[in-house]
Amino acid sequence: MLQITNLHASVEGTEILRGVDLSVNAGEVHAIMGPNGSGKSTLALVIAGHPSFTVTQGSVTFEGVDLLELLPEERARMGVFMAFQYPVEIRGITNAYFLRAAVNTLRKARGLEEYDTIDFLDVLEEKLKVIGWSESFLSRPVNEGFSGGEKKRNEILQMAVLEPKLAVLDETDSGLDIDAVRLVAEAVNSLRSPERATVIVTHYQRILNYLTPDYVHVLYDGRIVKSGGKELALELEEKGYDWLREEVVAG
């Protein structure tokens, strides 16, 4: 589904990704871990197409299509979703309005009928259950006045509504208390299916207790230096990242 080959990317002339290789198939959950500054968020933003980053080498394809040639909205319409580490606020636009505008743009792009207000409320009601929210969140402006945890949950609500094929979660678990982490994990689990894939970028192992990844990768200094199963995450939790430095230097 997602094929990343020798990806190099830089921001303002500084190279952050230095040759990332990653292959994600439908139905899989991948966790990408690594210390601060290793390039985890950059990788997520490059997949989504953030204009601040320049890809200098390598390729990213999604279902055989060259993603790097597409605008961010075109990627989204293909089914690529990113949950942001720092979701923005949009004043004066309600959550419900924003969600409907987004879902209808995607439906239109896929040749599906757009939801009218009433149908959409039914859809939303179902999705709100996923994150345990009341309808009152729908009439609040997008992320305005939301706590950090509420903003993260709102990202998950958007993911649930937009039903992406590939979801990239950028540190969705950081800054959340343990109950919220479990809730986010459950939401991700409930969306798991053989047609979909999830890439979770995280600093901590704890969210992986609730959603079992098929693969764990360690991103270090702009490269994936180690890949393994879920046990790799536990090893990292126990030993930290320093031992990897030695391995990389020795390597």
Two tokens at 250? Answer: 């020795």
Spatial contact of 44 and 75, defined as CB atoms under 8 Å apart: no
Nearest-CA neighbor of 82 among 162, 191, 2?
162
* Residues 50 to 69 in contact with another protein, rule: CB under 8 A: 50-52
Q: Which is nearer to another protein, 78 or 233 (CB)?
A: 78
Half-sphere exposure of 24 (CA within 13 A, CB side): 30
Shortest distance, position 93 Cβ to another protein, whole Å: 4
The reply to whether 19 sits near another protein by the rule CB under 8 A is no
Q: Which is nearer to another protein, 52 or 212 (CB)?
A: 52
The reply to whether 160 sits near another protein by the rule CB under 8 A is no
Two tokens at 89? Answer: 């606020």
Secondary element (H or E) of residue 33: strand 29-33
Q: Which of 73, 114, 116, 179 binds another protein (CB under 8 A)?
A: 73
Quick one: which segment of 58-66, 87-95, 132-140, 231-239 binds another protein (CB under 8 A)?
87-95
Q: DSSP letter string over 51-97? A: TTEEEEEEEEEETTEEGGGS-HHHHHHHTEEEE-SSPPPEEEEEHHH
Measure Cα distances from 1 to 21, 68, 125 in Å.
14, 15, 30
Shortest distance, position 224 Cβ to another protein, whole Å: 24
Q: Which of 77, 165, 206, 230 binds another protein (CB under 8 A)?
A: 77
The reply to whether 157 sits near another protein by the rule CB under 8 A is no
Q: Which of 12, 91, 113, 231 binds another protein (CB under 8 A)?
A: 91
Q: Residues in the site for another protein, rule: CB under 8 A?
A: 48-52, 71-73, 75-77, 81-82, 84, 87-88, 90-93, 98, 101-102, 105-106, 109, 141, 158, 162
